[in-house]
Each structure stands twice: as structure tokens, then as C-alpha cells.
Amino acid sequence: MSGQVVQGKSLEEIRKEWAERTNCAPDKLELEVLEKPSLLNRKWKVSIRWPESEPESEAEDTALKVEATAPKVEDTVPEIADKAPEPERLAECTRTDWLEDRYRLTIGARVQTVVPHPQAGQTFLNDREIEERSALAEGDRLEFKPLILPGRRTWQLEVRDKGFKAVAAVKHEKAKKACLAAELYSDSILNLSNQVRWETGEEIGEFWTAERYAQDLAEKKIVHGGKENAWDEIIKIEDFGEVVVAEGTLSFPAQPPVIQDCVNAKPALEEEQADDKNKIDYFASKIVLIEKGAVLARKTPGIPGIPGIDVFGQETSVKPLKDIPLKPKKNVRLSDDGLELIAECAGRPVRIEANAYAVEEVFMLRHDVDLSTGSIDFPGNVLIQGDVQDGLHIFSGGNVEISGSVSHAEIRGDKGVKIRQTVHGGKITVGYQSVVKSEIASRLQELHGQVLAALKDTDDLHVTAGENGFKPGQCLKLILEKRYSGLPKQAVAAEEYLTANPNDKVTEELSLAVRVIRHSLSGLEPLKDQSVQFLRQASGVLAEAFKEAQEDSAEEIVCDVSYIQGAVVESSGAFRCEKAVYNCSIKAEKDVLIKGVCRGGKIIAGGNVIIQELGGSGVSSTLVQISGSKRLSVGYCHPNVIIAVNKEIIKIEQAYKKLEVYREGGIVQMDKLLVHD
């Protein structure tokens, strides 16, 4: 058996190539895998072995110890050629000389037998053609006339897609010629089947020309849309392939007018299903408030169609354009150019038909918010003259005022919330957009820091591993896998949050930057060197964005309740309560004022906190957290209260009157009076 260590893109490709090189059946080759494809090397590395030519007798089999070296040809793989072994000294060299149409072989002294290769050409011994193994004697003339296999380049010209595309199905087989190297190495038997190599020869055979191509186009009557580089593409085809040689001009159908709903108005049909025109139909209903002069709908004029032309030069027809006029209804007028519907007053838009709109001025609900009305999602002020029942919500872009009670509902008012009766459970968010802006700033800052850290580690790794051929993209991929495996998911979460929470701070540039970061960290994208540059550019956009978000201060808004129990409150402004707060989680960016009792739960305030009575016996501990620059004032403080000033904790173990907690000179101060003093 003979062997060689080689590399290739696939095991099948290696087996096929070396079967041809060694004139051996593919199933006779033995492959041993040494290395599989990896991140840094995409090729298979195998040890390949093949059987030597079978000797005529046992004596000849013993003599066959030297393998002939493969001569260099055009299709030899450079990696294999560099590793080809030098001929052993025991091998006999037979020299070849080219004479017109054949090789003349000068036989080595120890060569005694020649084995022809009829499939590759004619072998002549003393001017007589031989086809079987023959003995050689001193002075014999041995010649080899190689076989030349003619090639061909032809095509079949077809017209497809109803005359709009012409395709040439090309067959291209190159001419081949059997060749011998200048020096052939063998033992006493010169087997030409082990010496012949096939090389691509001149274009001999049936090779159609550019003139034939032009003639075929003329016969098919193809006169329109011809490709300038079609002939160049045809002659590039190897084996089989198709080339588009001509494409017609497609027709452009008439584009009807497009009416754009500029305010997301609800169809009138859905409004009519309610008992009252101001009711909202179930949970999915939406209410939109527009100002006077707002554009309700905008029409983009239609475009007439353009006929097409097929490859035969024939024109195709198109349908005529049909217009759709806009129809103004109540409190709506048509613009001078007839392309817009404009509101004549502020109110709620209603879409009567696809091209007809009206405006209702005010939204007000004079009874409870329940399943008959559904939840409320309104961009302006909301006034409810009843209660809000379990599981429903009110989302407002302005102020929310509720005359009744709220039970396990979600209330959201961007400019303020006032609830005159009791609140049981649920959640109240005041200044929602400010809360969203704060969350966006936090997420962007965290993502920006992680990306910068990953880029720095990538640069450090590239400096140390660059000498070994590691590219920046490969270094980034390794860093992400080893140290920042959670960063791709963090980028996905940031993108989803921006998409789910539209905000005036979320610009197209910012959305694009987050999308670029998510894409550059996904799958195999980090392996690309350009991903490193994309991450640097997008990181700079993030840095500017979260700085602007941090600088955007909350508006002067207030959450005002009478009695609240077991609820969650988030306010970007102040929080006020007239009577009592029980077991609530309250977070306010500014001052907190509780004129009555506060027992259980926690209060986190960005401003000053004033509470008439804090804590109580027989209840869970009450937590109040303030910043170091603010003050906590309590009229009467029960035991089992925890006060946090930044990270400094104060536990109240006994009752006090007139408790004051503040920081002065960097030290937390506590002024108090014992109950029995």
C-alpha cells in the first residue's frame, strides 16, 4: 500500500480526486481522518492509502517497492504537490521527448516490461502498436501517442416567463489530452496507467462561437432587453449552467390612490356597538385625541400604469387608473388640494368609511369602567365619574381623575392621577413616559458598558494573538463565548424594550444602533471583521442617547389619592395621600406627603417625606428610603420602622414624636422626642 497526507474541502472530494490520480477505484482507497474542519481551518486533513499495481508474479510483486512520483500538471493541488515524496534511488528513470504528435520514451536500463494504457492513447513498440503487456529489449523503440478527447460548447436557447426572459442552457466540456512527465520513475515494469495524467487542451471539437450566438438570437426573433455581458457569461460556464441573455421590460400596473390613516381612528361600526357613544368596546379598544388642524387622513395620488415590452419587442397592456375621493364629515374639512382631511376642532376622530372621517370633541365616562365599557387607552385627559373595577386599566397621555374607587386595576396618567375614593390593590403609574425614559437610559447605559468592555478585551486579544493570524472578528467571537455569553441576549432585550415602549427619545438613529449591535452579536456575525467596526460606531450613538435621556428631567406631576391599600405606585413626580396608606410599595421621584397613617410596605422617595403617623403595632415593618440631601419628617413614629438614608440604615425600636431624619456635614442626624417625655 502507498500513502499520502492530504487536505480537502470534503471526504468525497478527496476520494474522487485521488481515485483519478492513482487510477484506482474509489472504494479501494483507505481514508483515515486526522483533523476535522474547525473554526480556524475549514478543510479535512486525512491520511490516504491506495494499493500498488498488481505484479505479474510473486517475484515481480517483491520487486515493486518504489512508487512513481506524480508529475506536475495544471490541476495538481499545491498543498499535495509540495509534500510529494522524492523518487527513491532504486527507481529507474525513463525520459520522454515530444515529437510532433507523440512521446518518444528513452527506456531505463533496468526497465524490462511495458504495460500500455489503451484508454489514454496508443503505445508503439518498434513501430508496432501494442495493447497488452510486452517485454522490452535493448535498442527497442517505444513511443506513446496520447489520446485527445474533443470538447464542446453548445447551448439551447429558451424563451420563458411568457416572453419576458430568454435563457441559454449551456453545456461546456473542455478538450482533454493525455500527458506524460519529462521523467518517468518505475521499477522493472513501466506501467503507463500509473504515469498518464490528463490535462486540459486546446478547444478541439464542437465549440459554438459568438456568431452562432447572434444567429440564434436572430432566429428566435429576440430583439429587446439583450444583456451586454451575456456572451462573456456563456463562455465562463463550466460543465452545465444557465445564462439569462435577455429580459423584457416588465409592465408597471396602475397604482391606485393610497389613503393613510394619520390618527389610527376606530371605525364607526365598532363605536355603534356600545350603549353610549362615549363607551369603549372591550379591552382592545383604543381612543385617540387630536387637536384642531390635525390631519386625519392623507391621500397619495395614484400612478398611471406603464406598458411592458417582452423580448420580442411586443408591448403589453395595463388597466386604467381609478381614483378614490376623500369625504369630509362632521367637524372635518377637505384641504385645498383635495389630498388631506383636516380636523376643525379638537376631539376624538372616527373613521366612518375608508375615505370618510368625523371628529367628536370630548371623551367622558359618566359611570363605572367595567366589562361593558372595557379598558380605556386615551392620549388626553380622562374623567371617570364612577368606579374602576377589577382587571381593567386606564392609560392616559394627560391627567386621570376618578370620582369613585379603584379595585385591582392599573391606572396610568402621564401628567397626573387623582382618585377621590379608596384604592385597593393594582398599580398606579404617574408620568409613565418619564419612567420609560429612565428605564431606557438605564438599559442603554448597561448595554453600552458591556459592549465597550467586550471591544476592549477583543483589542487586547488581537494584540496578543494577531501574530498567530487571528483576525479581529475571530477574537470578538472568542471573547463573547468566554466572557460575555449573555451580551447577545441583553442586546435582544434592549431592542425589544425600545420597540414595545415608543418614546420621543427613541430616534431612528438610536433604534438602528441597537439593531446593529444585536445583529453584530448574533450567530456567526461576530466572525466578520466589519462587525467590530459596526459595534464601535453603534456604541457611540448609545453613549449620546443615554446622556440625553439622563438630562431629561421629570415634569411637575402628582399622584393624589385619598386612601390606598396593597397597591404599587410609581410616580415621576410627587405622591400625596389625604387619609391612609397600608402595605403599599410607593416610589416617587419627588416629595411624598401622607397626611394620615402609613403602615407596612415601603416608600422610596427622591424628595422630602412628610408623614403624620408612621408604622404601627402588630403590622409588618415599614421601610422609608430617602436620599442623603433630603429630609424625613414624622409626627408620630411607631416601633418596627426602618429608615434608609442612601446606604445607611436606622432601625426604630421605640415610639417617637416629631421625628426628623436628615444628613448634615456628611453625618445622618436624627431629632426626636420620646413618647413619654
Domain assignments of the chain as residue spans, ordered by start = 2-83, 85-248, 259-307+321-360, 433-551, 591-677
Placement of cell 376624538 in the chain: 348
pLDDT in the model for residue 38: 72
Of 12-26, 68-82, 129-143, 173-187, the one with minimum mean pLDDT is 68-82
Query: Does residue 125 register a pLDDT over 60?
Result: yes
Split at pLDDT 50, 70, 90, the class of 317 is: confident
What does the pLDDT read at residue 40? 62
Q: Residue 316: which pLDDT band, with cuts at 50, 70 and 90?
A: confident
* pLDDT (tens digit per residue) in 248-285: 998 888 888 999 888 876 554 344 444 444 444 445 44
The whole-number pLDDT of residue 435 equals 67
By residue count, the chain amounts to 677
Among 70-74, 205-209, 415-419, 536-540, which stretch is predicted with the lowest mean pLDDT? 70-74
pLDDT digits 0-9 by tens, 429-438: 998 777 677 7
**C-alpha cell belonging to residue 23:** 487510477
Q: What is the mean pLDDT of residues 489-503?
A: 83
The topology under which CATH files domain 433-551 is Four Helix Bundle (Hemerythrin (Met), subunit A) (1.20.120)
Averaged pLDDT for residues 500-512: 77
Confidence bin at 567 (pLDDT 50/70/90): very high
Is residue 164 a contact partner of residue 309, using CB atoms and an 8 Å limit? no
- How confident is the model over 346-352, as a mean pLDDT? 80
Looking at residue 88, its pLDDT comes to: 43
Long-range contacts of 50-59 (CB under 8 A, 24+ apart): 50/1, 50/2, 50/3, 50/18, 50/22, 50/24, 51/1, 51/2, 51/24, 52/1, 52/2, 53/115, 53/189, 53/191, 53/193, 53/194, 55/189, 56/113, 56/133, 56/189
Mean pLDDT of the region 122-143: 90
- pLDDT of residue 559 exceeding 90: yes
Q: Is the pLDDT of residue 33 over 90?
A: no
Q: How confident is the model at residue 372 (pLDDT cuts 50, 70, 90)?
A: confident
The kind and range of the H/E element at 300 are: strand 295-300
Mean residue pLDDT of the chain comes to: 82
CA dist 193 → 99, 125, 598, 606, 671 (Å): 21, 16, 101, 92, 108
Q: Is pLDDT at 614 greater than 60 in this prediction?
A: yes
Mean pLDDT of 160-165: 90
Q: What is the mean predicted confidence (pLDDT) over 175-199?
A: 89
When pLDDT is cut at 50, 70 and 90, the band that residue 37 belongs to is confident
Of 40-49, 94-103, 486-495, the range with the lowest mean pLDDT is: 40-49
Which of 391, 393, 497, 406 has its CA nearest to residue 444?
Answer: 497
Q: Are 220 and 310 in contact (CB under 8 A)?
A: no
| Mean pLDDT for the stretch of residues 93-101 | 87
Asked whether residue 286 carries a pLDDT value surpassing 60, the answer given is no
How far apart, in whole angstroms, are the C-alpha atoms of residue 575 and residue 582?
14
DSSP-derived pairing of the beta strands 239-247 and 165-173: antiparallel
The model's pLDDT over 387-397, given as tens digits with 9 standing for 90+, comes to 999 989 988 87
Average pLDDT over residues 494-501: 82
Full DSSP string of 70-101: PPP-TT--HHHHHHPPPPPTTSEEEEEEEETT
Which pLDDT band holds residue 547 (cuts at 50, 70, 90)? low
Q: How confident is the model at residue 467 (pLDDT cuts 50, 70, 90)?
A: low
Average pLDDT over residues 42-49: 79
Per-residue confidence (pLDDT) for residue 298, from 0 to 100:
92
Per-residue pLDDT band for 69 (boundaries 50, 70, 90) equals very low
